[in-house]
Amino acid sequence: SQRKVLVAGGAGYIGSHTAKLLRSKNIEPIVFDNLVTGHRSSVRWGPFVHGDILDTSTLTRALLQYKPDAVVHFAASAYVGESVEDPAKYYRNNVSGTLALLDACRHAAIDKIIFSSSCATYGTPESLPITETTPQAPINPYGRTKLIVEQILKDYAAAYQLKYVALRYFNACGADPDGELGEWHEPETHLIPRALLAANGTIPHLAIFGDDYETEDGTCVRDYIHVTDLARAHVLALEHLVNGGGNLSVNLGTGCGSSINEIVSAIGRIIKRDVPVEMHPRRAGDPPALYTDPTFARETLGFSPEYSDVETIIKTAAPFFGLESRT
Ligand code: UFG
């Protein structure tokens, strides 16, 4: 019979791109989403169940109805700053929400889960690049919720024969190369969409948060990974689990860091428009540099990025902001 996956949070940015890719691999994505931050119009590749991750009975019913082979779990709150202001929301949605999902999985005898973790679990690492054995020491509530869920998964795997892959994303960015999906957050806080909003005149300028970091040009360095590459990592993780592979926690990035200044000048070069910028003080809680060692993802999942060069990232993201690339 056809393979099926329940995609919790499948109306969101990374979840919707993953649902589309699953469908293209002949795996039916059943999207479960409360549409608080996700978009109904991004659910186009399979059935939709409107529900909240905290609602175990609705979740259990969906799992019993569709009998998916696995659950891919994106449903979470994901603003670092908001997690400092309102930690209760983050512990509720991200930790209690995952517990509710895991209860539903146990009721419905679903034993495979792929979890959206984050490089935020590493906090400010002592050395670079970040490997999977770099100590995890988050510096904000968001990162702590992701680390706590990783620990819960480990305990559940030991006690209940759950199988899991935790994927620690670096900086998700870019958009569907076919132009059917894009990055759509409200409010938008991420660097590349903010820069494109400045380029198209929606906002007066891009605020650059700090140019006095201990990095080559003084601005923060991040490992930008294209959302379609992240989506493919989920398909690989699913194959890994279905083929009897063991539990894994894997970093997903390119291994290359780009500074804010490098991203801004690449955007200017590729769309042939200036990105108006204004220098601002540092944003609280930003580590100076984060980039991964991509070896473990390659060895365990056979994952290597295909769309994550800065040019492809910008060329796929730009049309969503009414901008054309002109190279
Ligand atoms: N930045 C700006 N101006 C902006 C927006 C961002 O200068 O308007 C800077 C940030 O200060 C940071 C870099 O651009 O140095 C990237 O910022 P993003 O907000 O795009 O991404 P973050 O690295 O802060 O956050 C991402 C994810 C989080 C995750 C985090 C892990 O969005 O969910 O990585 O560190 F927790």
pLDDT digits (tens, 9 = 90+) for 3-61: 999 999 999 999 999 999 999 999 999 999 999 999 999 999 999 999 999 999 999 99
State in words which class domain 191-222+255-321 has.
Answer: alpha beta
Q: Distances from the Cα of 237 to the Cαs of 67, 98, 108, 131, 232, in angstroms?
A: 19, 19, 21, 18, 9
What residue's CA is closest to ligand 1, atom 10? 209
Which ligand 1 atom is at minimum distance from the Cα of 194? 8
Q: Ligand 1 centre from 172 Cα, in Å? A: 10
Say whether pLDDT at 273 is over 90: yes
185 is written with which tokens?
């957050």
Say whether pLDDT at 327 is over 60: no
Rounded mean pLDDT of 146-172?
A: 98
ipTM of the complex: 0.96
pLDDT, tens digit, 9 for 90 and up, residues 63-74:
999 999 999 999
3-state secondary structure of 215: coil
Report the distance separating Cα 46 and Cα 149, nearest Å. Answer: 27
- Residue 90's pLDDT is 98
- Residue 1's pLDDT is 75
Phi first, then psi, for residue 249 (nearest 5°) are -125, 120
Rounded mean pLDDT of 280-300?
A: 96
Q: Ligand 1 centre from 266 Cα, in Å? A: 17
Q: Ligand 1 centre from 317 Cα, in Å? A: 16
Which ligand 1 atom is at minimum distance from the Cα of 173? 20
| Lowest mean pLDDT across 117-126, 180-189, 204-213, 310-319 | 180-189
Query: Do the beta carbons of residue 222 and residue 171 sit within 8 Å?
Result: yes
Of the ranges 86-90, 270-274, 284-288, the best mean pLDDT one? 86-90
Q: Which residue has the higher pLDDT, 94 or 324?
A: 94
Rounded mean pLDDT of 213-218?
A: 97
**142 counts as catalytic:** yes
- Reference 59, options 88, 91, 97; nearest CA is 97
- Assigned CATH for 3-173+225-252: 3.40.50.720
pLDDT, tens digit, 9 for 90 and up, residues 228-250:
999 999 999 999 999 999 999 99
What residue's CA is closest to ligand 1, atom 31? 120
Say whether pLDDT at 158 is over 60: yes
pTM beyond cutoff 0.80: yes
Which residues touch 306 (CB under 8 Å, ≥6 apart)?
A: 226, 228, 229, 232
Which residues touch 309 (CB under 8 Å, ≥6 apart)?
A: none
Strands (E), 210-261: 221-222, 224-226, 248-252, 258-259
Q: Ligand 1 centre from 297 Cα, in Å? A: 23
- Residue 135's pLDDT is 98
Residue listed under structure tokens 């929301």: 89
Say whether pLDDT at 297 is over 90: yes
Residues with CB under 6 A from ligand 1: 78, 80, 118-120, 142, 171, 189-191, 194, 206-209, 220, 222, 260, 283, 286, 290
Mean pLDDT of the residues in the chain: 97
Determine how β-strand 248-252 pairs with β-strand 163-169.
parallel
Strand-pairing partners, residue 277, are 206
**Which secondary-structure segment (H or E) carries 87?**
helix 87-90
Say whether pLDDT at 203 is over 70: yes
- Residue 184's pLDDT is 87
Q: Which residue ranges make up each domain of the chain?
A: 3-173+225-252, 191-222+255-321
Q: Distances from the Cα of 212 to the Cαs of 134, 171, 217, 253, 269, in angstroms?
A: 26, 21, 8, 25, 24
Query: Do the beta carbons of residue 132 and residue 250 sit within 8 Å?
Result: yes
Catalytically annotated residue among 13, 66, 90, 142: 142
Which residues touch 208 (CB under 8 Å, ≥6 apart)?
A: 219, 260, 261, 264, 277, 278, 279, 280
Phi first, then psi, for residue 31 (nearest 5°) are -85, 130
